[in-house]
Amino acid sequence: MYAIVNTGGKQYQVAPGDHLRVEKLEGNVGDTVELSEVLLVAEDENIKVGQPVVEGAKVTARIVEQGKAKKVLVFKKKRRKGYQVKNGHRQLFTALEIKEISA
């Protein structure tokens, strides 16, 4: 059994027991989160596709970690003008463990 969920503007294929990193969600480590924006649920030959979401379907997950990703450097330069800017960015993330999928 697996599902396609939409969170943080991205789509993820998840199955029970999977671990994944998504954009930051509110909550503490150990809390339970419900992802209600389920786009597709597949169980053996039975496939439900939502338009845009599957009614009554939800994915239950547990927050494993709240953290920051590795730093990404952004460097801007204009030649012969003496202009250069160096910035860094660390994106916040939430690591989830998928517990169950209910359709």
What is the structure's pLDDT at 83? 98
What is the structure's pLDDT at 85? 98
How many angstroms separate the CA atoms of 3 and 14, rounded? Answer: 5
What is the structure's pLDDT at 3? 96
Q: How many CB atoms lie within 10 A of CB 88?
A: 9
Sheet with 19-23, strands from edge to edge, namely: 19-23, 92-102, 58-68, 32-35
Sheet with 38-43, strands from edge to edge, namely: 10-14, 2-7, 38-43, 46-49
Is the pLDDT assigned to residue 103 strictly greater than 90? no
Handedness of CA 90, 39, 17, 58 (dihedral sign): positive
How many angstroms separate the CA atoms of 99 and 81, rounded? Answer: 55
Q: What is the mean pLDDT of residues 1-21?
A: 96
Q: Which pLDDT tens digit goes with each residue over 13-71?
A: 999 999 999 999 999 999 999 999 999 999 989 999 999 999 999 999 999 999 999 99
Split at pLDDT 50, 70, 90, the class of 4 is: very high
